[in-house]
Structure 1
């Protein structure tokens, strides 16, 4: 598909940005399956409004995407300009609407511009790494070196979280959701675990365990293991 080649060329020309194509397909059912299994993973979507021989339309996929992720960037590329009013009715708020009739060069230029906007709004803010993680216990504030944190663990039936660091564990009131907003580059390894990927030594697929550089470990769920293995194959024990 030519559009896939355009995006691949963009990725090659921006080696400093962590981007990859997660799915390229002409079958909308594949998109539905991926969305169900990875509701928050994909951020940029290039969709046709209609698919040949399918009752599922691109506008239906866009509606589902928008329900899952308010920040996702959706771009429509199509010949069906008469369907534009439906986009506004569904309130999917696309980033762009590209018409095929204007030619390949125009399409490439617009996709590049849309990817630039996506990077500026979504990728670069996430790449801003904190040096310290701040939290409170009572009236006292603590500043903790982010590089020494292996993972955060939520405690069942409480509103407290454990900070697991090198040679140190600290309990304080917070939620993983709030912490994830502060350190979006940390990885949700389990519903109760948020890990620092920079401190991972290896991952054992059989045990479904993450081993950190200081020798400590934690569990990882089966579904998250599949996702993480695909994104970081170098960390999987052979």
Structure 2
């Protein structure tokens, strides 16, 4: 049914990433793809696993506040647990209503999911979202001067106008989320909008809060050409 929806909605960037009866595979996927936009269709029970769908949904919600979760099951007696765990599912579909009714509800849920992602994407244009452990953070992009990484570490340092924050990520991943930022060095990703001036003699960028960072001569020339930043 989901394949049919994807086929009939070619304008939607959507694909099936994982289809499994093993909830541990979902947990591994969540850990390795923290920034993906996700829609989960879960049963409440997994026949060959001690972990139940409600347990998996609880874990998903702890890691991703925006993930959309739909339950499809015959175990209606477990429905109260969904509310007790504060999972906040998008829908609950009973398998007993028949295939056509399931398809109709599932298509509606996919439509709602896509529609609700639009304001989220617009919001991400002004904010940068990241996590430190299970806790999500949101940071105004106009307060970010640059991101910096170091060798032999899996963390990135966010340099803002008033603080420095360390969190697990890579510059490559951040670069895909913030295409307007400029890769000033293999270890630096800068916000051109926050550059006040360029110190060409010392090969430094000067930001609006008067902090600085180094930049190579070649990257400096490209930056000046494309962003028209004054010396």
**C-alpha offsets along residues 172-212 of structure 1, whole Å, 9 cap, x if unaligned?**
557789xxxxxxxxxx9616972147969xxxxxxxxxxx9
Deviations 1:13-63 (A, max 9, x none): 222221111111111121122122223424210000001121111001100
Answer whether contact 1:73 1:94 (CA < 8 A) is retained. Answer: yes
- Counterpart CA distance in 2 for 1:29 and 1:134 is 35
Alignment of 1:63 with 2:62, yes or no, is: no
CA offset digits 1:43-90 (Å, max 9, x no partner):
210000001121111001100011011111100000101110111111
Q: Which residue of 2 aligns with 1:135?
A: 142
Instruction: Show the counterpart of 1:160.
Output: 159
Report the secondary structure of 1:119's partner residue: helix
Give TM-score, length-normalised by structure 2: 0.59
Which among 79, 87, 96 is matched to residue 82 of structure 2? 87
Alpha-carbon displacement from aligned partner over 1:93-143 (angstroms, at most 9, x marks no partner):
111000000000011111110011110112564168959x97369xxxxxx
Match of 2:107 in 1: 112
Structure 2: how far apart are the matches of 1:199 and 1:215? 10
Distance (Å, rounded) in 2 between the aligned partners of 1:193 and 1:53? 35
Count matched residues: 169
Determine the structure 2 residue equivalent to 1:75: 70
Corresponding residue for 2:186?
218
CA RMSD after TM alignment: 3.9
Distance 2:164 2:107 in 1: 38
CA distance in structure 2 between the partners assigned to 1:160 and 1:42 by the alignment: 26
1:194 alignment counterpart: 174
**Mean alpha-carbon deviation: is it higher for 20-29 or for 45-54?**
20-29
Gaps of 5+ in 2: 127-139, 151-155, 189-231
Which entry has the higher C-alpha Rg, 1 or 2?
2
Partner secondary structure for residue 74 of structure 1: strand
Match of 1:33 in 2: 28
Output the TM-score relative to the length of structure 1. 0.58
Deviation string 1:130-176 (CA, Å, 9 cap, x unpaired) is: 59x97369xxxxxxxxxxxxx95248898635xxxxxxxxxx55778
Three-state SS of the structure 1 residue aligned to 2:186 is strand
